[in-house]
Amino acid sequence: MLEELIKVNGKFSELARKRFSCRTFDGNGVSEEKLNLVKKQIEKANESSENFRAGIVNKHELKAKKFFTTGTYGMFKGDKFYIVGTLKKESEFDWVKYGFFMENIIIYLTQIGLNTCWIGGVFDRKGFGGELGIREDELIPAIIPFGYCASKRTLRDRIVRWSAKGDKRKPFDELFFINEIPANISETKLKEVLENVRIAPSASNKQPWRFFIHKDRIDIYLRRDKLYSKLIPSSDLQMIDMGIASYHLWKSFLEIGMSGNWNLLKNKKSFPALQYIVSFIF
C-alpha cells in the first residue's frame, strides 16, 4: 500500500516546514497544466486503497448548482479548487488511514508550489458529495482548498490563526517520551524526526498524539479531546490527526534511510486518558 502512494521527491523535512494553513488565496486559481498534474497524482493515490477515494471539485460549479453554502467558507477567500477525499469506513482505524493518505496529497501539492488548508469541520458535505458522485457507503471527513496564497491575509484569517495558535506547537517533552534510543539512529537524528511530527497540522492545533519510543518500536497514543466528538460527530478529526502525525513519522524515517512496519499490537499498556492507536516497528 505505502509503495503506491504519491511520490514526494522533495526533502520531506523542508516540505513539512514549508507547508502552512492558507485561508486567503489570490483568487487566480491554478493553471490547467498544474491542475492536470494534481489530477494525475490523485489517481495514483486512489489506486493505493479500496477505502479511500479523492477528486477535485471546482467551487464555482458548486455555486452554479446551488450546492454552495456559507459557514466554514466564510473563513476563506479567493479559493477556487478543492480536493475532496471520501472514506468507506469499516473500522475506527480507517480514520487514521484517511489522514495518512490526505496528508500525502497535501505534501505533494506543497512540493509543486501550491498552498493548502485542512477543512474538517462544517462544510456542505452533500454538495461536495454530489459533485464527486459519492456512494452510499462513503462519507467525506474533510476537504482541502488549494491554490496560491494571497500576499496579504484577511483580518478574519489572522484572527482564526491567532485563536488556534497556528504558529505555535506543544513542547517536545509533552508529546514524546523516549524510554530508549532505537538502534541505528543517534539521539540527535531521532529528535529531528520527531520534530517533523511536532510541526504536523492538527484540528485546532491540539496535537493529540503522544509517542512512546522504545529500542525496537514507537507506540503511538491518542489523547482525545471529548468535546470534538460532540461538536463534529460526523468525522473523527482527532483520529485523522493521528494519521497525519503517522505520515510525518514514516516519511521522516525514510528520509534518513530507516524503514519499518505498522502494526496493531495486542495487550498494549494503557495510560490515563490515552488511547492506543498503532506501533511503528523498526
Report the pLDDT value the prediction gives residue 37, as an integer from 0 to 100. 92
Task: Say if residue 34 is exposed, middle or buried (CB neighbours under 10 Å; 0-12, 13-18, 19+).
Answer: middle
Report the pLDDT value the prediction gives residue 256, as an integer from 0 to 100. 94
d(CA 89, CA 77): 31
Report the pLDDT value the prediction gives residue 274, as an integer from 0 to 100. 95
Per CATH, is 2-161 categorized as 3.40.109.10?
yes
d(CA 193, CA 191): 5
Question: Residue 84 corresponds to which amino acid?
Answer: V
Q: pLDDT in tens for each of the 282 residues of the chain?
A: 565 677 787 799 999 999 999 999 999 989 999 999 999 989 988 888 889 999 999 987 776 665 544 445 557 889 999 999 999 989 999 999 999 999 999 999 999 999 999 998 778 888 888 888 898 999 999 999 999 999 876 665 666 655 555 568 999 999 999 999 998 899 999 999 999 999 999 998 999 999 999 999 999 999 998 877 777 777 899 999 999 999 999 999 999 999 999 999 988 877 889 999 999 999
Question: Residue 19 corresponds to which amino acid?
Answer: R
Under 8 Å between Cβ of 142 and 118: yes
Q: Looking at the domain that runs over 164-281, which CATH code has it been given?
A: 3.40.109.30
**Domain ranges within the chain, ordered by starting residue:** 2-161, 164-281
Q: Do domains 2-161 and 164-281 have the same CATH topology?
A: yes
Q: Report the predicted TM-score, pTM, of the whole model to 2 decimal places.
A: 0.91
Backbone angles phi, psi at 136, to 5 degrees: -65, -30
- Structure letter (DSSP) for residue 149: B
